[in-house]
Chain A
Amino acid sequence: QQQVKQSPQSLIVQKGGISIINCAYENTAFDYFPWYQQFPGKGPALLIAIRPDVSEKKEGRFTISFNKSAKQFSLHIMDSQPGDSATYFCAASSGATNKLIFGTGTLLAVQP
């Protein structure tokens, strides 16, 4: 029940296309859903996050869509650029804890 399932494992998108990464969870106590971006040799860095009281959050080209009833959330990267090539992790946490539960990661390659 503590797991966060992430798909796909890898994704190739053409420059200018839309990248979509999906995550699903089971623990209804989760109330915070961040996405982290990790470049090779670097630590994960917070990209964007959402709480379950909203269904969508947009920051620039990055959008999180959240479906509370389905217990799913997804990251959409519009107008994908080669510089977006990285590993993306979804994560979840609950207010009662100070730990993040990470998904398995998606390796995104944006081809020029």
Chain B
Amino acid sequence: EPEVTQTPSHQVTQMGQEVILRCVPISNHLYFYWYRQILGQKVEFLVSFYNNEISEKSEIFDDQFSVERPDGSNFTLKIRSTKLEDSAMYFCASSAFRTVNTGELFFGEGSRLTVL
């Protein structure tokens, strides 16, 4: 069964450092997402991406965050200067459809980011 894969599974970084989280979406999917889940809290939307552009972003996704699809398979989330409050599980997701209400959103297993 095709799946979304994420690396690293866990990253520990110092406050102020740059972090890049990587995702390989399902191969025929065109719509890509990042969500995050602070420990014990709900899953929150960060950004959606299609055709090499951001489609939608949340208030959380400020100038410290950026996304990129550097090649035909990877989708990355960069946090430029990490803060303590960026500590969370970051989930990549992909879909074959433009809107979530027309098709399933497939999530990866997540990358846990710990900022010290």
- By a beta-carbon cutoff of 8 Å, the part of chain A in contact with chain B is 31-32, 34, 36, 41-46, 51, 89, 93-95, 97-105
Contact B56 A97 (CB under 8 A): yes
Within the assembled complex, what's the spacing in Å between the Cα atoms of A75 and B99? Answer: 23
Q: Are B42 and A103 in contact (CB under 8 A)?
A: yes
Chain A hits for B98, CB < 8 A: 98
Which of the residues A32, A43, A89 comes within 8 Å of B109, measured between beta carbons?
Answer: A43
Q: Which residues in chain B, 76-101, are within 8 Å of chain A measured between CB atoms?
A: 91, 93, 95, 98-101
Q: For the complex, give the distance between the alpha carbons of A42 and B35 in Å.
A: 14
B108:A99 contact, CB within 8 angstroms: no
Q: Specify the chain A residue showing the minimal Cβ separation from B6.
A: A43
Cβ-defined contact, A45 with B107, below 8 A:
yes
Q: Which residues of B contact A34 (CB under 8 A)?
A: 100
Taken together as a complex, chains A and B put the C-alpha atoms of A2 and B55 apart, in Å, by 18
B99 touches A43 (CB 8 A): no
Contact A98 B31 (CB under 8 A): yes
Cβ of B105 under 8 Å from chain A: yes
Q: List 27 A-B contacts (CB under 8 A).
A: A36-B43, A36-B107, A41-B109, A42-B109, A43-B93, A43-B107, A43-B110, A44-B91, A44-B107, A45-B107, A46-B104, A93-B99, A95-B99, A95-B101, A97-B99, A97-B100, A98-B31, A98-B95, A98-B100, A100-B43, A100-B100, A101-B45, A102-B44, A104-B41, A104-B42, A105-B42, A105-B43
- Asked, given contacts A41-B109, A43-B109, A43-B110, whether A102 binds B42 with beta carbons under 8 Å apart, the answer is yes
Tell me if B109 and A93 are in contact (CB < 8 A): no
Assess the A99–B100 pair: CB atoms within 8 A: yes
6 interchain residue pairs of minimum CB distance: A32-B101, A43-B107, A99-B45, A102-B43, A104-B42, A102-B42
Q: Is the CB of B42 within 8 A of A46?
A: no
**Across-interface contacts of A103 in B (CB, < 8 A):** 42
